[in-house]
Amino acid sequence: MVEMYHIDLGIRANQLYSNGMYGKLTAKSHQLNTMLKFNVSAWKRFLFLSFVLKF
């Protein structure tokens, strides 16, 4: 658990400080993760609203 946290911190540090290829790749994957999270929450919100509007 703690190891994963440290790896995550390392990746974030690379995103912030590295303009090399690795930094670009991690930034891209981070963007994809946030996009997926946003889409999931938007989808849940949409389902909730459609459920509420039925009543």
What's the confidence (pLDDT) of residue 23? 61
Assigned token pair, 14: 């690379």
- Decide if 17 contacts 23 (C-beta within 8 A): yes
- Length of the chain equals 55
Kindly report, residue by residue over 5-54, the tens digit of the pLDDT: 555 666 666 656 655 656 666 777 777 777 777 777 877 888 887 888 77
